[in-house]
Amino acid sequence: MGIQRMRWLTVLLAVALVLGLLAGCAPKKPAEPAKPAEPQQPAQPQQPQGLSGSIQIAGSTSVQPLSEELAKAFMTKNPGVTINVAGGGSGAGIKAAQNGTADIGASSRALKPEEKGTVVEHQIAIDGIAVVVHPSNKVDGLTLAQVKDIFTGKITNWKQVGGKDAPITVFRREDGSGTLGAFTELVLGEGAKITDKALQQNSNGAMRTAVAGDPNAIGFLSFGYLNNEVKAVKIEGVEANVDNVKAGKYKLSRPFLYLTQKQPEGVVKAYIDFVLSPEGQQIVGKEYITVK
């Protein structure tokens, strides 16, 4: 039996050896060719995020500085938006909104009856108009009738309204000024005109400088330009301040309006929404009276 087992083992080893040799001689399966690399697609340019577009604002020179500040803040938040702000006066702003030559027309006076309904109104701020004199002037208050008589030339000396014996130097704004338009409407009324002897100033800043430099002067300017260089007189016993304007006690105030040809859409709507938002009204409140 031992010899027999040895023979079987020998046969098995021989068979295994033959099979191994045959396997080594068998042709190898050729390797698959490498797949060519897919061509890379060119990088797509990144699309600008957020809003994009342009807005043209034109009109009141009184509203213009506020519009510039609001536009700057909005463009900082929305780099894809360009806002151009131009002056031209309230009348020009109303017409620009009516005929669509500007996306937004700016007015620093209320619309006249014949202008109502021709545009969509968006009130963005309230501006008080102060009647100002030199700080040394002892006159602290005037009635509306007295202010009218001074600016139309009926009253010409400060002693006529409780002041010193000195001629009154009247300063006015230029034609087309929204501040002049509001002052004329609120104080002078229809048909009255400012005396021809009034000296013209072409901005609120120039008006303040002129009154501050003349002890006998009187003028009018926006609340936003009041400082200790001039003195705002009381009107009908009411001080010229924000609280009194909001309470309806101080009568010399006017709206700051944005006007659009139709209900705003897209980037124009987004801008006006920003102006009326808490962030926008915070900018308004730095120099003017907020509406929100």
Nearest Cα residue to 177 out of 268, 23, 82, 64: 64
d(CA 64, CA 88): 9
Residue with tokens 């490498």: 34
Sign of the CA dihedral with 132 first, then 135, 136, and 141 last: positive
- 31 within a domain of the structure (yes/no): no
pLDDT at 190: 82
Cα separation of 236 and 144, whole Å?
7
Q: What gap in Å lies between CA 274 and CA 292, rounded to an integer?
A: 12
Identify whether the C-beta of residue 64 lies closer than 8 Å to the C-beta of residue 96. no
| Residue 190 shares a structural domain with residue 232 | yes
Phi-psi region at 236: left, alpha or beta (left = phi > 0; alpha = psi -120 to 50): left
Domain co-membership, 136 together with 246: yes
- Structural domain boundaries enclosing 258: 54-127+254-284
Distance CA 127, CA 29 (A): 91
Instruction: Answer yes or no: do 233 and 94 share one domain.
Output: no
For residue 172, give the nearest of 205, 232, 214, 221 by alpha carbon. 221
Q: Please list the residues that pair with 105 across neighbouring strands.
A: 58, 259
Q: Considering the chain, what is the average pLDDT of its residues?
A: 87
Same structural domain, 89 and 189 = no
What is the pLDDT at residue 18?
43
Are the C-beta atoms of 151 and 172 separated by less than 8 Å? yes
Sign, Cα dihedral of 195, 197, 203, 204: negative
Same domain, 243 and 270: no
Residues 243 and 173 in one domain: yes
**Does a structural domain hold residue 25?**
no
Whether 135 and 203 share a structural domain: yes
Whether 136 and 242 map to the same domain: the answer is: yes
Q: What are 207's two structure tokens? A: 């008006």
Q: Is residue 27, in this structure, part of any structural domain at all?
A: no
Q: Of 252, 205, 250, give the one whose Cα is nearest residue 230.
A: 205
Q: Are residues 68 and 100 in the same domain?
A: yes
Cα–Cα distance measured from residue 165 to residue 12, given in angstroms and rounded to the nearest whole number: 143
Domain assignment present for 29: no
Residues 266 and 278 in one domain: yes
Sign of torsion, CA 61 67 68 69?
positive
* CA-to-CA separations, 263 to 36, 244, 260, 272, 291, in angstroms, rounded: 58, 32, 7, 11, 19
182, containing H or E segment: helix 178-183
If asked whether residues 62 and 92 sit together in one domain, one would say yes
Alpha-carbon 268 to chain mean position: 11
**pLDDT tens-digit series, residues 159-201:** 999 999 999 999 999 987 878 888 998 999 888 999 999 999 9
Contact 148, 191 (CB under 8 A): no
| Angular region, 143: left φ>0, alpha ψ -120 to 50, beta rest | beta
d(CA 158, CA 112): 34
Residue 34 covered by a domain: no
Torsion over CA: 281, 201, 60, 121 (sign): positive
> Does residue 30 belong to any structural domain of this protein?
no
Residue 146 lies in a domain: yes
Asked if 157 and 240 sit in the same domain, the reply is: yes
Residue 280: give its domain's CATH number.
3.40.190.10
pLDDT tens for residues 37-63? 555 554 443 434 579 999 999 999 889
Please give the pLDDT value at position 3: 53
Positions of the chain with pLDDT lower than 70, given as ranges: 1-49
- As for how many domains the chain has, the answer is 2
79, part of any domain: yes
